[in-house]
Amino acid sequence: SRELLVLTYGALVAQLCKDYEKDEDVNTCLDRMGYDIGIRLIDDFLAHSAVKKCCSYSETADMIAQVAFKMYLGVTPSVSCSSAAGNEFSLILDKNPLVDFVEELPAERASLCYCNLLCGVIRGALEMVHLAAEVTFLQDRLKGDAVTEIGITFLRKAEDRKHKRN
Amino acid sequence: MAIFSVYVVNKAGGLIYQLDHYAPRADTEKTFSFPLDLVLRPHDERVVVAFGQRDGIRVGHAVLAINGAEVNGRLTADGKDVLEFLGNPANYPVSIRFGRHRLSSNEKLMLASMFHSLFAIGSQLSPEIGSSGIEMLETDTFKLHCFQTLTGTGRLRARLCGGCHGARPPHASVAAGIKFVVLADPRQAGIDALLRKIYEIYSDFALKNPFYSLEMPIRCELFDQNLKLALEVAEKAGPFGPGS
């Protein structure tokens, strides 16, 4: 059934490419769909994995890589912290099952983020546990980079600033 | 050994699902002659027993039916006021059924919201930060178990003291998640596992249903069926919990 998922995902991206001319539109659409999935997937993840609440950003990033990715995609990306402030992490995927049947992006779709759905899913899931984050692809094997790298930047919570006064 | 009911409260405090699995109906029907030795008084929309407990008729029980016909709030089936009817010796002997009244759906909604607020207050009163909130409420006839998920779209903000000029009053924001509340017999064990199971069932049959919108009342057949199955399994396990 993994194959069916990969094929379905491929068909989805292909259809979106037909529907939208610009790559950015396709990317946005994938991200939004991923977000809608993420806000529901987080409860499924918490219900089935029974993990405890994470106390730090690095714990959260580790959780995503080692438990969530394993559970849903069967791969375990490696995590590295890429900022001194401790709020930027990258997940490096050696193997990305979603691109099993894709060799490379077509020439006219050079800036398409094929797996942008994943970014949306992570963003949506984090938002539901009150962690605002920006998730993007830093490197993409489909675009010629060596590995696929997803960057997660945890944003400062907006509420803290609102209550500064009185 | 029973599980009485299940409530699911969304992040804003609204009731999105309710199931009455087992209601211990302790109805008592008796024939009375004038004068009635029970003292009845109106309460809310019902007529309840205020004094004169006997034979299974307890204080707080409401008048459910007169002469076999169900009463409609404070009026009998034919529209007469119940207290007037029972004050008239010509109507006796009369057979009255007493019992605990069932909660109406509006009442359940209100009570669920109240519990949600109490839960929030409970987490804030905790001397330790990061309290899990009310997990269990015990009475002599039932135990209420509550499990709150970590997810939540909104934050409940509460100011703990009014603003003093210049100083910044401490405020605590409580992340609200979905709450699963189970009311069960005090001797029933394994409710923790049951709450986790209900969370799983919710994530499987409500969240994964593409036509179900988050935070809305759950109207999914599969959720109902699986929940009832889970309750039956938990009940069969009895006072020792499942897996023993």
Query: Containing domain of residue B116, as a range?
Result: 3-23+104-157+173-236
- Identify the CA nearest to A137 among candidates A84, A98, A85, A86: A98
- Shared domain for B95 and B109, answered yes or no, is no
Asked if residue B30 belongs to a domain, the reply is no
- Shared domain for B8 and B74, answered yes or no, is no
pLDDT band at B153; cut points 50, 70, 90: low
Which residues of B fall within a CB distance of 8 Å from A166?
163, 168-169
Fold classified for A2-154? Muramoyl-pentapeptide Carboxypeptidase; domain 2 (3.30.1380)
Which residues of A fall within a CB distance of 8 Å from B153?
127-128
How confident is the model at residue A164, as a pLDDT? Answer: 40
Which residues of A fall within a CB distance of 8 Å from B151?
42-43, 46, 128-129
Q: Which residue has the tokens 């699963």?
A: B180
Yes or no, beta carbons of B151 and A40 under 8 Å apart:
no
B69 - beta bridge partners? B66
The alpha-carbon gap from B200 to the nearest alpha carbon of chain A, in Å, equals 5
Residue A16 CB neighbours (<10 A)? 16
| Chain segment B35-61, per-residue pLDDT in tens | 888 888 888 888 888 888 887 788 888
Domain spans of chain A?
2-154
- Shared domain for B16 and B48, answered yes or no, is no
- Shared domain for B52 and B95, answered yes or no, is yes
Asked if residue B162 belongs to a domain, the reply is no
Asked if residue B242 belongs to a domain, the reply is no
CATH of the domain at B196: 3.30.450.70
- Shared domain for B10 and B120, answered yes or no, is yes
Asked if residue B129 belongs to a domain, the reply is yes
| Chain segment B202-232, per-residue pLDDT in tens | 999 999 999 999 999 999 999 999 999 999 9
Which residues of A fall within a CB distance of 8 Å from B178?
43
For the residues B125-140, what does the mean pLDDT come to?
86
pLDDT band at B240; cut points 50, 70, 90: low
| Chain segment B78-102, per-residue pLDDT in tens | 888 888 888 888 888 888 888 888 8
- Shared domain for B80 and B200, answered yes or no, is no
The alpha-carbon gap from A125 to the nearest alpha carbon of chain B, in Å, equals 9
When scoring B171, B202, B207 by the number of chain A Cβ atoms within 10 A, the one with the most, hence best to mutate, is: B207
Contact between B182 and B143 (Cβ < 8 Å):
no
Interchain CB contact of B81 with A (< 8 Å)? no
What mean pLDDT value characterizes chain A?
85
> Distance from CA of residue A34 to its chain's centroid?
8
Would the CA dihedral through B241, B141, B218, A126 be positive or negative? negative
Asked if residue B199 belongs to a domain, the reply is yes
The tokens describing B46, both together, are 């019902």
- Shared domain for B58 and B85, answered yes or no, is yes
DSSP B30-87: EEE-SSP-SEEEEETTEEEEEE--BTTB-TTPEEEEETTEEPBTTB-TTS-BHHHHHH
What mean pLDDT value characterizes chain B?
83
Asked if residue B79 belongs to a domain, the reply is yes
- Shared domain for B122 and B230, answered yes or no, is yes
The tokens describing B196, both together, are 């986790």
Asked if residue B168 belongs to a domain, the reply is no
- State yes or no: pLDDT of B155 exceeds 50: no
Interchain CB contact of B132 with A (< 8 Å)? no
When scoring B123, B128, B131, B151 by the number of chain A Cβ atoms within 10 A, the one with the most, hence best to mutate, is: B151
The alpha-carbon gap from A164 to the nearest alpha carbon of chain B, in Å, equals 8
- State yes or no: pLDDT of A47 exceeds 60: yes
CATH of the domain at B55: 2.30.42.40
Number of domains in chain B: 2
More confident residue, B195 or B70: B195
Peptide bond into B93 cis (omega under 30): yes
Q: ipTM value of the model?
A: 0.84
Least confident of A101-105, B49-53, B152-156, B195-199: B152-156
- Shared domain for B201 and B87, answered yes or no, is no
3-state secondary structure of A103: coil
| Chain segment B159-183, per-residue pLDDT in tens | 333 333 444 334 445 567 899 999 9
